[in-house]
Amino acid sequence: MIEERPLAAKAPQHAALTEREVQESRRKETILYLDGVSVSFDGFRAINNLSFLLGKGEMRAIIGPNGAGKTTMMDIVTGKTRPDEGEVFFNGTVDLTKHDEPAIATMGIGRKFQKPTVFEGHTVEDNLALALAGSRSILAAIFHRRDAEEEARIAEILDTIRLTHLRDASAANLSHGQKQWLEIGMLLAQDPKVLLVDEPVAGMTDAETEETARLLRDIARDHSVVVVEHDMGFVRDLGVKVTCLHEGSVLSEGSIDNVSSDPKVVEVYLGR
């Protein structure tokens, strides 16, 4: 009698192949894909085996205590920091670890830092024109005769960032919140696929904070957005999935209610 064993012997190889295919399929459905990412600075592991997936057209809020790895994660995505280990992919196929900051920005990943950086000596409209111009010099961009498409794009951005009525105002005269909106508009002018926004409502009034939540929800209709923020009321207003980082890894992930009630999150972050 012949013993039937060949099929059982091949099963593990088939299973491994299927798992790889599933991972590749999962990656291609994302706009940002980080898997097993780690990076250390002088012996301190700032990011520790981090896995993070952002879907196309998704907005995600990231919370966590200082030193949790939020900024370092954005540094890795934008090419400022290269990971020691792990995979970092953009739009399913682009390996971000093989590109530098300028190249990644050109691909369509825009980053807004906490402190707004605008050209205060120019008008709101000129700031958007400068961002729209790309590689043109400041003078060339300001005196450039914009075509109908460029004019329409600037008008659209002004409407999105709630500054149409201030298009001719000097950026220096804007409130702190309005400067934040203008910088977001300058990112939009560069036509990014992903926006990384760092603590956008720090220092804002309550009214500006509420309006910023609405603004980002508007932007998320056509873009993927990652928002790093400490203001839990603002995070709740965004109404999106929340990821809490701690010691360079994902501590908890889900709805704001689930994450904020997670005992681990309360212990290391919300309970402080």
CATH number, domain of 185, equals: 3.40.50.300
**Please, is 184 exposed, middle or buried when counting C-beta atoms within 10 Å of its C-beta (0-12, 13-18, 19+)?**
buried
Instruction: Give the containing element (helix H, strand E) for 249.
Output: strand 249-254
Beta carbons of 48 and 25 less than 8 angstroms apart: no
pLDDT in the model for residue 4: 47
How high does pLDDT run on average in the chain?
89
Give tens-digit pLDDT for 48-73: 999 999 999 999 999 999 999 999 99
Band (pLDDT 50/70/90 cuts) for residue 142 is low
Q: What are phi and psi of 222, to 5 degrees?
A: -125, 0
What is the sign, positive or negative, of the torsion defined by CA atoms of 163, 164, 167, 170? negative
Residue pair 228/66 in contact (Cβ under 8 Å)? The answer is: no
Asked if residues 124 and 167 have their Cβ atoms less than 8 Å apart, the reply is yes
Do 195 and 232 have their domain in common?
yes
pLDDT digits (tens, 9 = 90+) for 205-258: 999 999 999 999 999 999 999 999 999 999 999 999 999 999 999 999 999 999
Per-residue pLDDT tens over the stretch 115-132:
888 999 999 999 999 888
In a domain, 220, yes or no: yes
pLDDT score of 11 more than 50: no
d(CA 133, CA 190) in angstroms, rounded, equals 8
Domain span including residue 263 = 35-118+175-272
Q: What is the mean pLDDT of residues 91-100?
A: 94
Classify residue 39: in a domain, yes or no: yes
Does 114 or 206 have the greater pLDDT score? 206
Phi and psi at residue 85, in whole multiples of 5°?
-145, 160
User: Percentage of the chain surpassing pLDDT 90?
Assistant: 76
Among 173, 207, 241, identify where a domain stops: 173
**How many domains are there within the chain?**
2
111 & 149 share domain: no
Which residues, listed in sequence order, are joined to residue 245 by a DSSP beta bridge?
A: 250
Tokens describing residue 67: 């030193």
Q: Per the domain annotation, does 249 fall within a domain?
A: yes
pTM of the predicted model, to two decimals?
Answer: 0.86
Token duo for residue 162: 């709630």
